[in-house]
Structure formats: C-alpha cells, structure tokens
Structure 1
Amino acid sequence: MIHPIRPVILAAAAAATFATAAPARAEPTLAPHRAVYELKLRETRGSSSVDQIRGRIVYEFTGAPCEGYALSFRQVTEIGNSEGETNVSDLRSATWEDGAAKSFRFTAQNYLNQQLEKDTDGRAERGADAVKVTISKPEKSDKGFGEETLFPTEHLRKILEAAERGDKLLSAAVYDGSEDGDKVYDTLTVIGKPETAEPANLEAAAKTPELAKATRWPVSVSYFERGKAPDRDKKDSGGEQTPIYAMSFDLYDNGVSRAMKIDYGDFVLDGELKELKFLKATVCK
C-alpha cells in the first residue's frame, strides 16, 4: 500500500462472536517488489490555483516477518499554478519495521526546488502499554502514543486480514513518522468486494503471473487529525469530518497496489502503475 502516500480492526459482531470456532487464517504474505507510478492531475477544487501537476512515485518494499520489512519511497512532483510558476517537490523516505511490529525506524527528507526543507529521523518502540517515539531530527524530542497504534506495514496486514474476513471497514490509529514524526493519524479504510477477473483498465505493468493469480479489493483509506475521524457507530457522523487526505486503489492479496487516486482536498492525482518488478523473497525458517 502506497503512502505519500497510515489499532483497531472493525470486525463484524458475528465474526467476533464465532472467532473461537473459526479456523485460524494465515497471515498475509507480502511480496517484495519495486513499483513505479506516474502521477497526473485528475481534478482541482474550490479556489485552488494549481492548474498542472505531473510526477512519479518509486516504491520499493522488501523483507519478511523473520527479518523485518524495509520500505524505500520517493515522490517527485512538479506543480504549476495559474500565474505560470512551477515548483518541484522531492520527498525521499526510508523505513524499517520489525516483523512483529515491536520497532519502527524512519528517516525522510523533503526538498523544494532542490533545497532541503525538512529532515526527519527517529524511531518508535512498542512497550507493554504504549508506543514510545524518540525523534532526533528536526528537533530532539520524545512522544508517547497509545498501545493500539499501528505501524505502516502492520496497518497493511490488518487491512488485508479484514478484507479476507469480508469486513467492509477498518478503523485504526497509525504512526508512520511523517511530517515531524510527532503525530498519530486516525484512519478509516473502506474495503470493497473481492475481485479476481482482470479489469478492463489493467495497466501493462500489472499483467504479470503473480497478479493474474491474486485476489484484489478496491480500497479507500482516509487520514484524519487525531480525534477527528468519523464515528462508525453513528449513522449521521460522516458528513462533517474532512480527512487531511485520502487514497483509493486496488489492493492485491500480496500487498501490491495499482490504479491509485490521491485526494489532497484542493486537488486530486491519478497514479498509474508504469513499472512493476517482483524481488527475491526471504524464506523464513
């Protein structure tokens, strides 16, 4: 799952009731892979002065439960406005997450027009009753978050587990080290029906044996300021909460994503899968 593109699993009451009687499901197996997405402007909203955007995401995911998961991410975006001005944003990040989601390390640099605007570095450790974050950049600080907080790969696994169960919603607090590394985001994931037939708009890069055999789900993940996510138990609670941003995509059962849409509020980007290469997987003993 791309993060530019974040616990609490929303299981149905019946699923919770019969959990002890149901056979145990194997944890999702995430495929190491390198994916390249081409970004294009889909639409603008309101008073946004943005009139053209193009860019690219390079996403490389490796690892296994026994050695942890490493993610290298780079998003370069060229943004033009109605006054003829153009700015280039270059976000580079690298993370490592323990296979048991006990530890998480992150580093990120954000450049604007080739000038370093932000440099972030830190780590998070899960204790018995809290997640402790130690930030070394941009400023040294310590933070503490609730034990229910998920790390990014753990969040992806929870989404896939919920999809396999047939759950339609997943609510989770997620820590990913973004911004200054000092925030947890509330997320709400909406999961559609599973699909196996090849979609009509399938990108050439996605025509691989690995994806041809995989189940996929249409997924939408919205990210909210802490405490501002909709209350799923209140039917009329979803009309006023506005996410910081939202992503929708097709998510395969091996963790690969395609057909992305990234909604930043003022504008929306499409992300087309242009390259996909599966990497050698580690066999855990």
Structure 2
Amino acid sequence: MKGRVCQNYLVTRHSFPYSKSTKFGLFLLISPISRTIIVVFLALVTAAGIGAVLWKSGKLETQLLEPASTASLVPHKAIYSVALYSTRNTSQISNIGGQMFYAIRKSCEGWITQNRFNLVYEYPDSPAMRLLSDFSNVESADGETLQFITRRRRDGELFEELRGEALQKDKRVVFSMPEGEAQDIPAQAIFPIAHTKSVIDAAKSGKKIVSSVLFDGSDINGAVEINTIIAGQATPTEKSAYIREEFKESPLIKGNAWKLRMAFFPMADEDSPQSDYEMTALLYENGVISHMIIDYDDFSIEQKLMALEPLEADQCGGGANAGSRTE
C-alpha cells in the first residue's frame, strides 16, 4: 500500500500527515484528512480477515455505480475520537490524537455535508503539529452537481484552500480557488452522497464486491478509484461493540449494518497495482458509521463514535450557500 500526498463520508476522504520514509526520508507528507475520512465517511470500509490489499478493477469484478438509489440516508451529526491504532517499524509518528465532527443535512436542493478535523501529530524527533481540516459539500438531489470548500490549517496557518463546482453533464470541475484551475473528471465518476447510497444498495442486494470512481473535491489531485468488499451483515454483538452505552437505544443505530473494507487508488497513477490506503468500517443502512480504521503504509488510525444526534431536514432555506458557513 503506497503513501499518498493528499480527506469522512462513506466516504468522504481522510487525510493524515504521514511519513513515507522509504521514499522521502523524514519528509512528512500532509494528506488531506478529508480524503480518507470524507471518502471514509462517504466512501466507507472492511472487517478484519479479508485480505490486506485490494487490487484495482482489472483484478476485481468491476461495477460502475450510478447516482440513482433507493437508499434512505438520515440527517445526523456525530463526533468521533481519532487515535493512533498501530504503527510499523518504519513509522516516524509517535502519536496521533483528536476529534472529527461530521454532519449531514437534507436541504431542498440536496445534501449538505461537513467534516471538521482537529488533530495533533507527535513525532519522536521534532515538535508536535496541530492540523485543522474543514470540508463542506453541497450535492444536488439528482447527483448532478457538487459544490465544495476545503480548508486546511497547520498550527493555525492556512496552507490549503479549495473551492469549486463539479458538473456531471460536463464531466468537469471548475475551481474558484485556486482561481482559473479546471479539471476533467472521469466519465464514470460519481459524488459522495451518490457513492454512499450505491454502496448501501449493493449491500442490501447481497453484492460482495463493488468498484467505483469518486470525486469529492477534497484535494487538488482529483478523483479516486475505490474498491469495496462487503464482508457481510454485522451481528448484534458486532454492532454493540462500537456503540457507547448512552446512545445504545438511539433509533439511528437500530437498523442493519455491514462490515466493509475499502481500498483507494489515485486515478492519476493508474499503473500502480497497490492502494494508497485502505479502510475498515461499520456502515448502517441509514448512512451512520459507528467505527472506522484507516490503514496507511506506516501506521493505522482508529475513529470511534463518541456522540450521535439526529438533525431535522432543512425547510427549504439556506441550501446551496450552506457550505460557506464553515469558517
């Protein structure tokens, strides 16, 4: 599994700073926390016991996902603890800790999602670093349009900001920041909410392997290919293992849930047979994720659900400008 310079949805994508000692020495790469978590939240993930490496679509059954879906997502907000889960001998990180806030709201125009990460990275031979990452998306109800804002701050200083809009009909993304930047997106690419719904649909229908291409606006590198293994429906014992006592009776976690394993491949590096990173997650049929582990080359991160509340649907106000609320 290769390191990626790079963002939770099922997946949204996460990004963590990680060391790539074999290629870059002690140079620390800052990965968009959203690509892994916004693509983890809105993109998703498997239970232990399914192979470590998921190969690209040529070696897995390929199924292109379409925006149309019968899955019913529930507006909610959640807080997750983020902590270092394991390290390998080559890791240059001694600890990672913090929180991730996630919210999904229904507006008249579509879906509004927000991810906010506040993480501290500790290193054995250099000062600790705080990384704040904010991701806001507005995805139209028909899956045709995605507006996005991404901001990342390192020790309080803004070092990356992206704003733009992607249109399915044009297969094109146009950035307002950086101004003048534009990219084509793959013909088969879909947006985060459409991707989450499609994975839930696949799980409900009994499919075991799904391959898709996701664009979420979380970083300048564009779309990623995601191979997902659906490892089966979680048992009541497996579900309760990741639910805190205070909200075990919440209707948000009463439905069916599936164990997922996801592998992420950059579309810009189509010749590579190995994933940038992989994720394991427990995904409920309403879009709630109760637990997640993100595996990089040198270390793994665990996200645990700490707080969960339902949100009311928007009464047709705000909508498309909601993304600008993230400051």
Q: Which bin holds the TM-score, normalised by the shorter protein?
A: 0.7 to 0.9
**How does 1:1-285 map onto structure 2 within 5 Å?**
1-3=10-12, 4=14, 5=37, 6=39, 27-63=70-106, 67-127=109-169, 130-180=170-220, 182-199=221-238, 200-204=240-244, 206-226=247-267, 241-281=273-313
Q: 1:126 to 1:97 in 2, by over 3 A?
A: same
Q: Which runs of 5+ in 1 are unaligned?
A: 13-24, 231-239
Q: Which has the higher strand share?
A: 1
What is the TM-score with the length of structure 1 in the denominator? 0.83
Q: Distance in 1 between matches of 2:261 and 2:205?
A: 17
Structure 1 position 213, deviation (Å) = 2.8
Contact 1:124 1:132 in 2 (8 A): yes
| Superposed CA offset, 1:63-99 (max 9, x none) | 16x5300001101110001115200111011100001
Q: Distance in 1 between matches of 2:90 and 2:233?
A: 37
Q: Give the 3-state SS of the residue equivalent to 2:189 in structure 1.
A: coil
Contact 2:242 2:304 in 1 (8 A): no
Q: Distance in 2 between matches of 1:166 and 1:268?
A: 29
| Superposed CA offset, 1:216-246 (max 9, x none) | 001122111117679xxxxxxxxx7332222
Q: Give the 3-state SS of the residue equivalent to 1:192 in structure 2.
A: strand
Q: 1:88 to 1:254 in 2, by over 3 A?
A: same
Q: 1:212 to 1:114 in 2, by over 3 A?
A: closer
| Superposed CA offset, 1:1-57 (max 9, x none) | 242214x99689xxxxxxxxxxxx971110000010001101112422101110110
Q: Distance in 2 between matches of 1:202 and 1:113?
A: 31
Contact 1:10 1:167 in 2 (8 A): no
Q: Distance in 2 between matches of 1:184 and 1:282?
A: 29
Q: Distance in 1 between matches of 2:123 and 2:136?
A: 30
Q: Distance in 1 between matches of 2:223 and 2:173?
A: 11
Q: Report the structure number with the largest CA radius of gyration.
A: 1
Q: Name the counterpart of 1:16.
A: none
Q: Distance in 1 between matches of 2:69 and 2:277?
A: 32
Structure 1 position 283, deviation (Å) = 8.9
Give identity over the alignment, percent. 24
| Superposed CA offset, 1:169-219 (max 9, x none) | 110111011222x51111111111113524352321551332453000011
Q: Count matched residues.
A: 258
The CA RMSD over aligned residues, in Å, is 2.5
Q: Distance in 2 between matches of 1:261 and 1:198?
A: 19
Q: Which amino acid aligns with 1:149?
A: A
Contact 2:186 2:223 in 1 (8 A): no
Contact 1:145 1:184 in 2 (8 A): yes
Instruction: Could you list the structure 1 runs, at least 4 aligned residues long, displaced by more than 6 angstroms after superposition.
Output: none
Q: Distance in 2 between matches of 1:172 and 1:195?
A: 23
What is the TM-score with the length of structure 2 in the denominator? 0.73
Q: Distance in 1 between matches of 2:70 and 2:270?
A: 27
Q: Which amino acid aligns with 1:183?
A: G
Contact 2:210 2:228 in 1 (8 A): yes
Contact 2:253 2:284 in 1 (8 A): no
Q: Which amino acid aligns with 1:102?
A: E
Q: Distance in 1 between matches of 2:306 and 2:202?
A: 28
Q: Distance in 2 between matches of 1:283 and 1:164?
A: 30
Contact 2:135 2:218 in 1 (8 A): no
Q: Give the 3-state SS of the residue equivalent to 2:225 in structure 1.
A: strand
Contact 1:41 1:270 in 2 (8 A): yes
Q: Which amino acid aligns with 2:171?
A: V
Indicate the larger mover: 160-169 or 256-265.
256-265
Q: Distance in 2 between matches of 1:263 and 1:241?
A: 17
Q: Which runs of 5+ in 2 are unaligned?
A: 1-9, 15-36, 40-56, 317-327
